[in-house]
Amino acid sequence: MFRLFTKQSCVIAMTLCLVTLPLMQAATAAIISTETAIELTERVAQVERINAVLARDSVQGALIRLGVDPIDAMARVDALTDTELQTLEQQLDKLPAGGTGVVEVVGIVAIVLIILELLHVTNFFSEF
């Protein structure tokens, strides 16, 4: 009985959050934005919008830890959409970070080739 009650409270609390969330939005509250319209067609749960607020702080903190200037970090998270923020929150460490110079590539490729050679996977060097 108690369990059932708490489950119901959760559902009610969540429903309240979902219903009141549009209220928290600014002046154009009654206008349904294109972003919302897209979400509606994609059936993205509204819960994700709540998470976006949390994601913002989390991504900002992560950027600062990774060496980004705190003032820049704030402006950078402001430039991201809710969906982008959530993607970054979950995958900031895994997403491709393009940045390699050509010199580094040559170095990495050489190391890989040497390792493969040592493991006798290839015979790149012994060919010569």
Partner 1 sequence: MLIAGCAGNQRVMMADIELQSTAIELIDTPFYPQITDQCGPSALATILNVAGVDVSPLRLKSNIYIPGRQGSLQLEMLAATRRYERVPYILEADISAVFSELEAGRPVLVLQNLGTDNMPVWHYAVVVGFLPDEKRFVLRSGDQERYRIKAAKFLRSWRRAGYWAMVALQPGTVPDRANPEMYLSALAAFESTGNDAATIAAYVAAVAKWPENTLAGLGLGNAYYADGQLVAAQQAYAAVLRVDPQNALILNNLAQVLHASGSNSEAAETIAVALSLVDVDSREYWLILQTQQEISQPGNKPAQ
Residues that bind partner 1 (CB under 8 A): 18-19, 22-23, 27-38, 40, 46, 63, 65-69, 72, 75-76, 79-81, 84, 87-88, 92-93, 95-102, 104-105, 108-109, 112
- Of the pair 19, 53, the CB lying nearest partner 1 is at 19
What does the longest C-alpha to C-alpha distance in the chain come to?
78
Between CA 112 and CA 14 the distance in angstroms is 52
Q: How far is the CB of 2 from partner 1 (least distance, A)?
A: 28
d(CA 75, CA 93): 20
Sign of torsion, CA 90 96 99 104?
positive
Least distance between partner 1 and beta carbon 74 (Å)? 12
Spatial separation of the C-alpha atoms in residues 32 and 59, rounded to whole Å: 27
Whichever of 94 and 120 has its CB closer to partner 1, that residue is 94
**C-beta of 90: minimal distance to partner 1 in Å?**
11
